[in-house]
Amino acid sequence: MEAISARAEKAVEYKHNRCNCAQAVLMAYEKELGRPAEDILAMGSGFGSGMGGMEGTCGALCGAVMALGLLNKSDTPSKMIAKDMLQEFKEMSGGATICRDLKGIGTGKMLCACDDCVRHGVLVLEKKLAGING
């Protein structure tokens, strides 16, 4: 796996202090997003325990895609980049993107802990931003 970035570790700190997974990834980009922390936190507030309360996409991945939408300065539509991000996140996170699957709800086998999901969200976003915004 790629080296864990300082930004990814900062996102994990946010996760441990006051944020859900989506908010943690978004807050790691607070400066670049150029919006007040209250707005960033509000934007990610509905994605705790995955979109829909563990039934949907991992909040960390949702946060990464939200940040992408605001930071993408390329001609490539964000939805195309997000498709690649989803696949890369899935590969890094044990083969899943749905929160309940990642946490092993129903199977008893956790594929990826929240801290690592947050790291993976930041890492896939960093990789894409470096490639598109150079």
**What is the domain partition of the chain in residue ranges?**
6-133
- What is the per-residue pLDDT for 50? 86
What pTM did the predictor assign? 0.93
pLDDT digits (tens, 9 = 90+) for 67-92: 999 999 999 999 999 999 999 999 99
Residue 16 has pLDDT above 60, yes or no: yes
Tell me how far apart the alpha carbons of residues 5 and 134 are, in angstroms, rounded to a whole number.
17
For the segment 12-22, the average pLDDT, to the nearest whole number, is 96
| Region at 20 (left for phi over 0; alpha for psi -120 to 50; beta for the rest) | beta
Q: What is the pLDDT of residues 107-131, one digit of tens each?
A: 999 999 999 999 999 999 999 999 8
pLDDT at 3: 55
Q: In this predicted model, which residue has the larger pLDDT, 54 or 32?
A: 32
Residue 1 has pLDDT above 50, yes or no: no
pLDDT bracket for residue 44 (50, 70, 90): very high
H-run or E-run covering 115: helix 114-133
DSSP string, 12-44: HHHHHHT--HHHHHHHTTHHHHTS-HHHHHHHH
